[in-house]
Amino acid sequence: MARIDESQPFLPVSIAVLTVSDTRSEVDDKSGRTLVEMIERDGHRVAARTIVRDEIEAIVNQLRAWIADPAIDVVISTGGTGLTGRDVTPEAFKTVYEKEIEGFGELFRMISYGKVKTSTIQSRATGGVAEGTYLFALPGSPGACRDGWDEILRWQLDSRHRPCNLVELMPRLKEHLTTGG
């Protein structure tokens, strides 16, 4: 049974928040603000926050910059995961992944189904890892950000979560870069 092991220390992680939008500014970026508030509420650090246009190159460039930054453990984006011609966040993320975390998108859609029913098929939420940095792409609504954070990421980014969590894997995410495999 999933639980928080209070005998273990909480280890905050550093998280960058990326909003993908052609129309938002920091003033009206409700989804980005929602993520920042939840991350800080739960004891983690917001290491960076920015907005980029719905363009693969812009998204990939920002992801690569944050992946290369040793002060950033996790990137969470909001926006650009739908089906329209401008929605290219999953494509951008998949170009930088070393490993995709298929279960993240599957679980997100399962949770979303409970709230929006079959409309969840329009979500292409995705997760993965690249050079030791976790990457998660959420849809561009505050509700979707709350679902992704409160139902999944809050727990998997808590070092006390049992039976397992993503934080305990962090020291081993770069093994292939030092062992050649």
Q: What is the model's pLDDT at position 30?
A: 97
Least confident of 1-5, 94-98, 130-134, 157-161: 1-5
Q: Please say if the pLDDT value at position 181 is more than 60.
A: no
Q: Given this structure, which CATH class describes domain 11-179?
A: alpha beta
CA–CA separation, 120 and 55 (whole Å): 23
Q: Please say if the pLDDT value at position 179 is more than 80.
A: no
Residue whose pair of structure tokens reads 């290369």 in the numeric block:
68
Question: Which residues lie across from 57 on neighbouring strands?
Answer: none
Q: Please say if the pLDDT value at position 27 is more than 80.
A: yes
Q: Please say if the pLDDT value at position 38 is more than 60.
A: yes
Q: Which of 180, 154, 157 is nearest to 167 (CA)?
A: 157
Q: How confident is the model at residue 1 (pLDDT cuts 50, 70, 90)?
A: confident
Q: What is the model's pLDDT at position 101?
A: 98
Q: Which of 127, 119, 160 is nearest to 143 (CA)?
A: 119
104-134 pLDDT, tens digit per residue, is 999 999 999 999 999 999 999 999 999 999 9
User: What value does the mean pLDDT take over residues 6-13?
Assistant: 97
CB 15 within 8 A of CB 45: yes
User: How buried is 113 (Cβ within 10 angstroms: 0-12 exposed, 13-18 middle, 19+ buried)?
Assistant: middle
Contacts for 131 with CB less than 8 Å, ≥ 6 apart? 67, 68, 98, 173, 174, 177
Question: Which residues lie across from 51 on neighbouring strands?
Answer: 19
60-110 pLDDT, tens digit per residue, is 999 999 999 999 999 999 999 999 999 999 999 999 999 999 999 999 999
Q: Please say if the pLDDT value at position 57 is more than 60.
A: yes
User: What value does the mean pLDDT take over residues 39-66?
Assistant: 98
Q: How confident is the model at residue 37 (pLDDT cuts 50, 70, 90)?
A: very high
CA–CA separation, 160 and 3 (whole Å): 8
Is 25 in a helix, a strand, or coil?
Answer: coil
Instruction: Encode 27-38 in three state secondary structure.
Output: CCCHHHHHHHHH
Per the prediction, the chain carries an average pLDDT of 96
CA–CA separation, 26 and 74 (whole Å): 20
Q: Which of 56, 108, 48 is nearest to 80 (CA)?
A: 56
